[in-house]
Amino acid sequence: MSEWLRKLPGYQVYEPGLERKVLHQLPQFTVMGSLAIALPSLLARLLLSPKAERIIDILVVGTEIFFLGMVLTLAIAALIVMLAKGPAYVADAYPLTESDRPVK
């Protein structure tokens, strides 16, 4: 198994950057953002008629779905950057049968 995960000699290590900060703050951002989006629905319960409540609830649910989709997209992007900054590994050799250079 150790042969499979040989690190490429001479690979460059990159410092963790913004992606680690984003991943660290993402849960707090998600909770606070969801609560902020739900606030109009809660205020509508106190101040408006039932018909207006339903309209606001529909808008809040749509906004919440969009928000969570954007958070998921941001998390995936940060994970991809984090993985790309990881170590490089030696790939398996792949002999080319039809190459421009003749086999020696």
pLDDT digit string (tens) for the chain, length 104 residues: 556 677 777 777 778 888 899 999 999 999 999 999 999 999 999 998 989 999 999 999 999 999 999 999 999 999 998 888 877 777 766 666 776 766 56
Q: At what angle do helices 18-47 and 50-84 cross, to 10 degrees?
A: 180
What is the domain partition of the chain in residue ranges? Answer: 18-84
What's the pTM value of the predicted model, to 2 decimals?
0.72
Cα–Cα dist 60/40, whole Å = 8
Q: Which distant-in-sequence residues (6+ apart) come within 8 Å of 94 by Cβ?
A: none
Residue 64 contacts residue 34 (beta carbons within 8 Å): yes
SS3 at position 80? helix
